[in-house]
């Protein structure tokens, strides 16, 4: 795992043999929809697990059958916000790690001509102050969709924000660093080479929504 903090955005690249193995399956153009969904679920569970590496916990005592043991409990249950469609494929995995999380939804589709985010759903509580929020989206390309989602969360008072992504482009990371979201944590499986002229990540894995669910 590598870690870097720049301009207030903390970037953690989860570089583990198993994340690389699952990511290779996702990248492979021969992987069909079913196998893609399965590999995404497995990789997401590892990424979400890493995203909670430094979560706040309450120290508690646990009564075992033998004695009292020191233990820990996550202080504040998180909220998961998958960005539709592609982020839906990460939600069950996130809930496997933290089953008592709250859940919100944001739907954003990228305009194919302009690559700008177009919002079609924001199902979020009005007040997110004090609520740790974990945004789930496999792809960080231009960063437009993620920044739009972070803006929606910040408008509702959320300040403890983490993005969990599978693969990103340096251009997307730079956009986050140039955004208003100074304390953001980004946990990501890989940062690839660049964006192409169609704003696709190179080498990337194609379109994670299409590869799970078929073309829109």
Which of these segments, 21-29, 61-69, 104-112, 183-191, binds ligand PRP (CB under 6 A)? 104-112
Token pair for 31? 């992987």
Q: Which stretch binds ligand PRP (CB under 6 A): 65-73, 94-102, 141-149, 181-189?
A: 141-149
Nearest approach, Cβ of 66 to ligand PRP (angstroms)?
49
Bridge partners, 94 (sequence order) = none
DSSP letter at 163? E
Q: Is residue 123 part of an annotated ligand binding site?
A: no
Under DSSP, the state recorded for 205 is -
Binding to ligand PRP by CB under 6 A, coded x per residue (else -) over 34-73, reads ----------------------------------------
Question: Does 185 participate in binding ligand PRP (rule CB under 6 A)?
Answer: no
Stretch that binds ligand PRP, among 39-47, 59-67, 78-86, 178-186 (CB under 6 A): 78-86
Please report, for residues 57, 83, 108, 134, 156, the alpha-carbon distance to residue 131 in angstroms, rounded to integers and kept in the order given: 14, 18, 22, 10, 10
Residue (11 or 146) nearer to ligand PRP, CB: 146
CB of 64 to ligand PRP, least distance (A): 44
Asked whether the beta carbons of 74 and 56 are under 8 A apart, the reply is yes
C-alpha separations of 146 from 20, 28, 33, 34, 159 in Å: 23, 25, 24, 26, 15
Question: CA 160 to CA 133: how far, in whole Å?
Answer: 6
Contact (CB, 8 A) for 143 and 181: no
Where do contacts with ligand PRP occur on this chain (CB under 6 A)?
A: 83-86, 108-110, 115, 117, 137-146, 172, 199, 207-210, 216
């Amino acid at each position: 795992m590598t870690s870097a903090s720049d301009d207030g955005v903390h970037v953690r690249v989860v570089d583990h043999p198993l994340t690389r193995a699952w990511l290779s399956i996702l990248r492979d153009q021969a992987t069909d929809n079913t196998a893609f969904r399965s590999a995404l679920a497995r990789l997401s569970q590892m990424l979400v697990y890493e995203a909670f590496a430094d979560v706040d916990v309450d120290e508690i005592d646990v009564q075992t059958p033998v004695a009292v043991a020191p233990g820990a409990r996550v202080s504040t249950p998180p909220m998961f916000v998958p960005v539709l469609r592609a982020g839906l494929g990460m939600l069950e995995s996130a809930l496997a790690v933290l089953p008592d999380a709250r859940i919100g939804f944001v739907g954003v589709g990228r305009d194919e001509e302009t690559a700008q985010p177009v919002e079609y759903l924001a199902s979020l509580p009005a007040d997110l102050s004090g609520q740790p929020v974990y945004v789930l989206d496999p792809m960080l390309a231009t960063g437009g969709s993620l920044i739009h989602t972070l803006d929606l969360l910040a408008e509702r008072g959320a300040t403890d924000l983490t993005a969990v992504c599978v693969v990103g482009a340096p251009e997307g990371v730079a956009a986050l660093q140039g955004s208003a979201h100074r304390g953001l944590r980004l946990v990501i499986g890989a940062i690839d080479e660049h964006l192409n002229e169609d704003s696709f990540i190179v080498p990337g894995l194609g379109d994670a929504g299409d590869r799970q669910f078929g073309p829109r």
